[in-house]
Amino acid sequence: MPTINVQLFEGRTVDQKRNFVKAVTNAACETLGCTPESVDVIIQDVKREDWATGGELWCDK
């Protein structure tokens, strides 16, 4: 049912990602009334040099 796309700065550990997707899956199930098997979470690691806010790259902050 839901596919959740998440973009994070790179550097998170596999354990952090594992805990995060469990929490997001649980929240989706509680909120949407779906089963865990129907929830997809896609994590995209982004380099700070590829992300900007307010016209400034995060690697420059």
The encoded tokens of residue 8 equal: 């994070």
Rounded to whole angstroms, what are the CA distances from 15 to 11, 19, 21, 29, 59? Answer: 12, 6, 10, 21, 25
Q: What is the pLDDT of residue 38?
A: 98
Per annotation, catalytic residue among 1, 2, 4, 6: 2
Q: In the chain, what are the domain boundaries?
A: 3-60
Is 2:36 a contact under the CB 8 Å cutoff?
A: no
The answer to whether residue 2 is catalytic is yes
Class of domain 3-60: alpha beta
Q: What is the pLDDT of residues 37-61, one digit of tens each?
A: 999 999 999 999 999 999 999 999 9
- In terms of residues, how long is the chain? 61
Q: For the whole model, what pTM was predicted?
A: 0.88
